[in-house]
Structure 1
Amino acid sequence: MEFAELLAALALKVRNQREAIQTEEATKNAFIMPFISTILGYDVFNPLEVVPEFTADVGVKKGEKVDYAIMRDGEVQILIECKKSKEALKIEHASQLFRYFAVTNARIAVLTNGETYQFYTDLDAPNRMDDKPFLVLDLLDIDETLLPELRKLTKDVFDLDSIINAAEELKYIGQIKRTIAAQFKEPQDEWIRFFTTRVYDGAFTQKVREQFTTLVTKATKQFLNDQVNDRLKTALGSSAFSPLPVSAETASLTSQLVVADDLDRDTELDTTLEELEGYQIVKAIACSEVKPQRVMHRDAKSYFAVLLDDNNRKPIARLHFNGLKQKYLGVFDQDKVETRHAISSLDEIYLHADAIRESVKNYNG
């Protein structure tokens, strides 16, 4: 599985099991050890790579330990402090990390509850862990722009210098994005005042503030909706007008097959954003085998089809989302027999990546 697929699979495990996790030890076993082994690629059972309950020889209080230390060439590179799942992470939880960061060679410290991972380094002062993380990974809401930087910490491609060099930009971009998201959700007075004073010439009184709080909240929500709708229109438009490769097989289609294809398209269709997002996931998986422009989609009343070369005789997958409480992903074997798999979220499509790729290979061999 690809790096993004592994992360999506772990995110799915967290979603499915988080309500059953009641202790810190259960969090470590269910979520954090799989993250260290599956995502970062270190052997949690090899003390030369991962040391649980790590204790430094000098410089810290007796009895204090860090939950995990990741080693490379005999030196500590990453320190990990764990908290119970669903427990909010606070900088006060990181006291051991602060002390151990100063007395080891570690340049990366991680505070996590198995769902959220906060990555720290020493941008503000050498050998002193920063108060704010430079990277925050939330498995319940993965920001895919962070994956290239996260991958630099994996065993196979460990590139500490590169991630440290990028850390300052990551830190401030991440904080800005989280601040904007918070303002969109619950705008503060400064946010309201910022927009009000740019469109309203009168004094910013209490009455004006109350009026524009409602208006700014509405405007920001409408702005987000407009952005989503624009993406939807773009996706539909690009799919509708993309030129298709013309092969000898396509040119020799009989009128009977063309009519059958047309009938299969159905009328009065309602393509949803969720279907398009699912299509993008299937397309991303299929693109390991073929060029992106060959992976197309067609909507129908009963399913949303992903096809190779926009050809109904080359189905890659089907999304059965329309009006169903239980969603299904349909995948095809070499005889074009469809098998439906129940899914509860789009991330679960990644669990069937091998079947999707195999389906493409069957037509592309």
Structure 2
Amino acid sequence: MEFQDRIAALASKVSNQSASIGTEEATKNAFVMPFIASILGYDVFDPLEVVPEYTADVGIKKGEKIDYAIMRDAEVQILIECKASTGVPKIEHASQLFRYFATTNARIAALTNGVVWQFYTDLDAPNRMDAKPFLVLDLLDIDETLIPEVQKLSKESFDLESIINAAEELKYVGALKREIAGQFREPSDEWIKFFAQRVYEGSYTARVREQFTALVTKASRQFLTESVNDRLKVALGAGVSVAPTDASPSVISSIAPAQDDIDRDTEIETTLEELEGYQIVKAIACGETKPHRITHRDAKSYFAVLLDDNNRKPIARLHFNSRQKYLGLLDELKSETRHPLQDLDDIYAHADAIREAVLRYR
């Protein structure tokens, strides 16, 4: 499974189970250990790789421990401190991380509640953990631009020099993006005044501030909506004009099997065309839901695109195992209609039906 797919699978699990996780220990077992194992690629049961309840030899208050230390070549590389998933991870709760960071060789520290992962290093002062993270990964709202940076922390791709070199830019770009997002959600007085004074020629009075609070909020949301719509129009416009030729076989309808065969199929070979088709369906479906919720599973008979990695929430099926390729779309009764494809761009012609499939499960 590709790195991005592993993150999507864990994100789906977090989305489905976070409401039922109430303690720190449950958070570790359900979310943190799977992240260390499946995302970072370390063996959580090998003490040469992952040490739970890690205690340094010197310089630490007696009896104080870090939840996990990830080792490479017998040296601590990453320290991880956990909090319950019901709370928001705050740097005020990470006093152990600060102390251990100064007394070990670790250059990377992580504070997490299993849902949000905050990664720290020592950009501001050598061997002293920064007060602000350089990378924040929210599994319920994944910023896909961060996935390559997270992959650098994994066992197979660990590159400390590259991580540190990119950390400063990541730190400030990430902080700026979060600040901008916050201003779009709930604009501050400074943000409102900044824009009001550029379009309003009168004095900036309390009445004007009250008026422009609503106007700036509305304009910000409309701008975001229009930007997303413009990108979708560009993406969909490239493919809508492509239609099957008259020689295409007729549309085939069938009833979807009552028992999905995805789980029991073996000896499956996923092709590049199937993955390309999946990316097209995912791009369309993302107009109605977050990208990490769109997943796939391959089977002998077809390649399934699912919502939340759930067999009961099929968005589309790619029948690419014969010379004539089909896009399978299912209605409310799970009755499948196969549409012939001359090439992958033909999928865009069914964008409305794909989006409708996603909306049915919401």
TM-score range for the pair, normalised by the shorter chain length: 0.7 to 0.9
- Which residue of structure 1 aligns with residue 88 of structure 2? 88
Identical columns (%): 62
Q: Which amino acid aligns with 1:80?
A: I
- Which residue of structure 2 aligns with residue 318 of structure 1? 328
Q: Which amino acid aligns with 1:32?
A: V
Q: 2:152–2:159: 8 Å Cα contact kept in structure 1?
A: yes
Q: 1:216 to 1:29 in 2, by over 3 A?
A: same
CA deviation digits over 1:166-220, x for unaligned, max 9?
0000000100110111111110001101110111111111000000111111101
Q: How many residues align?
A: 297
- Which residue of structure 2 aligns with residue 260 of structure 1? 250
Q: Once the 2 structures are TM-superposed, how far is the Cα of residue 231 of structure 1 from its aligned partner?
A: 1.6
- Which residue of structure 1 aligns with residue 213 of structure 2? 213
| Structure number with higher helix proportion | 1
* More RCO (CA 8 Å, sep 6+): 2
- Which residue of structure 1 aligns with residue 232 of structure 2? 232
2:100 and 2:7 map into 1 onto residues whose CA distance is: 28
Q: Which amino acid aligns with 1:211?
A: Q
Q: Which amino acid aligns with 2:233?
A: K
CA deviation digits over 1:28-68, x for unaligned, max 9?
01100000010000000000000000000001100110000
1:149 paired to 2:160: no
For residue 203 of structure 1, give the secondary structure of its aligned residue in structure 2: coil
Q: 1:70 to 1:236 in 2, by over 3 A?
A: same
1:211 and 1:66 map into 2 onto residues whose CA distance is: 51
Q: 1:275 to 1:171 in 2, by over 3 A?
A: closer
Q: Once the 2 structures are TM-superposed, how far is the Cα of residue 240 of structure 1 from its aligned partner?
A: 2.3
- Which residue of structure 2 aligns with residue 198 of structure 1? 198
**Consecutive unaligned residues in structure 2, runs of 5 or more:** 254-282, 298-314, 340-356
Q: Which amino acid aligns with 2:226?
A: D
- Which residue of structure 2 aligns with residue 35 of structure 1? 35
For residue 68 of structure 2, give the secondary structure of its aligned residue in structure 1: strand
1:211 and 1:31 map into 2 onto residues whose CA distance is: 45
CA deviation digits over 1:79-98, x for unaligned, max 9?
00000012111111110000
- Which residue of structure 2 aligns with residue 58 of structure 1? 58
- Which residue of structure 2 aligns with residue 352 of structure 1? none
Moved over 4 A (4+): 275-278, 280-286, 303-308, 326-332
For residue 94 of structure 2, give the secondary structure of its aligned residue in structure 1: helix
For residue 111 of structure 1, give the secondary structure of its aligned residue in structure 2: strand
Q: 2:51–2:69: 8 Å Cα contact kept in structure 1?
A: yes
Q: Once the 2 structures are TM-superposed, how far is the Cα of residue 318 of structure 1 from its aligned partner?
A: 3.4
Map 1:110-149 to 2 at 5 A: 110-149=110-149
2:70 and 2:128 map into 1 onto residues whose CA distance is: 19
CA deviation digits over 1:236-283, x for unaligned, max 9?
2111246x9xxxxx9xx7x5x4483699xxxxxxxx9537679x9999
For residue 132 of structure 1, give the secondary structure of its aligned residue in structure 2: coil
Q: Once the 2 structures are TM-superposed, how far is the Cα of residue 155 of structure 1 from its aligned partner?
A: 0.5
Q: 1:235–1:276: 8 Å Cα contact kept in structure 2?
A: no
Q: Which amino acid aligns with 1:274?
A: A
For residue 22 of structure 2, give the secondary structure of its aligned residue in structure 1: coil
For residue 260 of structure 1, give the secondary structure of its aligned residue in structure 2: coil
Q: 2:5–2:295: 8 Å Cα contact kept in structure 1?
A: no
Q: 2:328–2:338: 8 Å Cα contact kept in structure 1?
A: yes
Q: Once the 2 structures are TM-superposed, how far is the Cα of residue 127 of structure 1 from its aligned partner?
A: 0.3
2:184 and 2:11 map into 1 onto residues whose CA distance is: 25
Q: 2:8–2:293: 8 Å Cα contact kept in structure 1?
A: no
Q: 1:281 to 1:49 in 2, by over 3 A?
A: closer
For residue 87 of structure 2, give the secondary structure of its aligned residue in structure 1: coil
Q: Once the 2 structures are TM-superposed, how far is the Cα of residue 285 of structure 1 from its aligned partner?
A: 7.4
Q: Which amino acid aligns with 2:189?
A: D
Q: 1:81 to 1:173 in 2, by over 3 A?
A: same
Q: Once the 2 structures are TM-superposed, how far is the Cα of residue 345 of structure 1 from its aligned partner?
A: 7.4
Q: 1:275 to 1:136 in 2, by over 3 A?
A: closer
TM-score, reference length from structure 1: 0.73
Q: Which amino acid aligns with 2:325?
A: K
1:147 and 1:157 map into 2 onto residues whose CA distance is: 12
2:110 and 2:175 map into 1 onto residues whose CA distance is: 17
For residue 136 of structure 1, give the secondary structure of its aligned residue in structure 2: strand
CA deviation digits over 1:105-128, x for unaligned, max 9?
000000000000000000000000
Q: Which amino acid aligns with 1:59?
A: G
TM-score, reference length from structure 2: 0.73
1:82 and 1:101 map into 2 onto residues whose CA distance is: 15
Q: 1:209 to 1:181 in 2, by over 3 A?
A: same
CA deviation digits over 1:105-152, x for unaligned, max 9?
000000000000000000000000000000000000111100111101
Q: 1:102 to 1:283 in 2, by over 3 A?
A: closer
2:113 and 2:335 map into 1 onto residues whose CA distance is: 31
2:336 and 2:250 map into 1 onto residues whose CA distance is: 23
